[in-house]
């Protein structure tokens, strides 16, 4: 499986707190059946002021540590970019990292606030689309506005977004409402990718293994393979459909 969303680089956001914890998370990911993890620290202006430079540096240290442990795990890096007015400027300055490519377009992991769907999001999404960027929205199933108004899911899809559901949302780690919405999205074929969004080794570990089994049983093995392996794999290898 290919995991396109993780907070496994130590010490640069609210994810892993030490290299030791990161290595445990890497081992847990391998045990879950994951072969590639994209490190996506928060890029959240004024909260987590990460840049391509410091993310690449953290990735490089982690990659060396994973290699020293002989773990069969490929790492790459990008970022989880919180929606802010500054995004067009960052894009113009080439300051934003991409997870890979989808149908030739660079894929931006673009995070909404957890509380609401921000006003003007449709304009930003149309602007990104016109600029040749493919937005990938993480965890819409955990957004409080979306939970209240599930029609927003199709609205986001109609605006051209790819949608990533969290593995732990499917397994119930985020409660009944989030789990119900995740399963509803799966039933309606409104999910493009499942990723872990792992933050640590205990409270928010890599739930990809358990979630894969649930999707396989709830929907089908073919769909599980598509959501956990094929689609994320095409993106990280920038392989066209």
3 belongs to the binding site for Fe ion (CB under 5 A): no
19: left (phi over 0), alpha (psi -120 to 50) or beta: alpha
Q: Which of the stretches 80-88, 123-131, 160-168, 208-216 binds Fe ion when contact is defined by CB under 5 A?
A: 80-88
Q: Using CA atoms, how far apart are residues 139 and 194, in angstroms rounded to an integer?
A: 9
Size of the site for Fe ion (CB under 5 A): 2
Q: Using CA atoms, how far apart are residues 131 and 175, in angstroms rounded to an integer?
A: 37
Nearest distance from residue 81's CB to Fe ion, in Å?
10
Among 3, 13, 192, 197, binds Fe ion (CB under 5 A): 197
The overall longest dimension of the chain from CA atoms, in Å, is: 47
Nearest residue (CB) to Fe ion, 79 versus 106:
79
Classified as helix, coil or strand, 82 is strand
Q: Using CA atoms, how far apart are residues 60 and 235, in angstroms rounded to an integer?
A: 21
Q: Which of the stretches 56-64, 77-85, 176-184, 232-240 binds Fe ion when contact is defined by CB under 5 A?
A: 77-85
Nearest residue (CB) to Fe ion, 80 versus 141:
80
- Between the alpha carbon of residue 52 and those of residues 17, 19, 36, 98, 181, the distances in Å are 20, 20, 20, 10, 34
Nearest residue (CB) to Fe ion, 80 versus 207:
80
Q: Which residues inside 155-194 make contact with Fe ion, applying CB under 5 A?
A: none
Q: What is the 3-state secondary structure (H, E, C) of 127-170?
A: HHHHCCCEEEEECHHHCHHHHHCCHHHHHHHHCCCEEEEEHHHH
Nearest residue (CB) to Fe ion, 197 versus 207:
197
Among 80, 192, 201, 207, binds Fe ion (CB under 5 A): 80
Give the DSSP letter string of 8-24.
-STTSSSS--SHHHHHH
Q: Which residues inside 82-111 make contact with Fe ion, applying CB under 5 A?
A: none
Query: Binding string to Fe ion for residues 21 to 60, with x set by CB under 5 A, is what?
Result: ----------------------------------------
Nearest distance from residue 216's CB to Fe ion, in Å?
24
The DSSP code for 228 is: I
Nearest distance from residue 134's CB to Fe ion, in Å?
18
Nearest residue (CB) to Fe ion, 25 versus 239:
25
Nearest distance from residue 206's CB to Fe ion, in Å?
13
Which residues are at the interface with Fe ion (CB under 5 A)? 80, 197
């Amino acid at each position: 499986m290919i995991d396109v969303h993780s907070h496994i680089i130590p010490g640069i956001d609210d994810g892993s707190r030490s290299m030791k914890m990161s290595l445990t998370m890497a081992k847990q990911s391998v045990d879950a059946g994951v072969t590639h993890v994209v490190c996506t620290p928060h890029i959240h202006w004024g909260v987590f002021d990460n840049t391509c430079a410091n993310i690449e540096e953290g990735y490089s240290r982690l990659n060396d540590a994973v290699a020293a442990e002989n773990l069969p795990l490929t790492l790459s890096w990008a970022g989880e970019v919180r929606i802010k007015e500054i995004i067009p400027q960052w894009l113009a300055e080439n300051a934003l990292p991409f997870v890979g490519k989808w149908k030739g377009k660079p894929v931006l992991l673009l995070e909404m606030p957890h509380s609401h769907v921000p006003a003007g999001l449709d304009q930003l999404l149309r602007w990104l689309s016109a600029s040749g960027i493919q937005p990938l929205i993480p965890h819409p199933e955990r957004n409080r506005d979306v939970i209240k108004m599930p029609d927003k899911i199709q609205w986001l899809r109609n605006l051209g977004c790819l949608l990533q559901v969290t593995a732990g949302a499917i397994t119930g780690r985020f409660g009944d409402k989030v789990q119900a919405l995740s399963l509803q999205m799966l039933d309606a074929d409104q999910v493009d990718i499942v990723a872990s969004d792992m933050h640590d080794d205990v409270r928010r570990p890599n739930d990809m293994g358990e979630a894969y089994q649930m999707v396989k049983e709830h929907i089908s093995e073919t769909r599980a393979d598509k959501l956990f392996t094929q689609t994320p794999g095409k993106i990280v290898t920038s392989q066209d459909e």
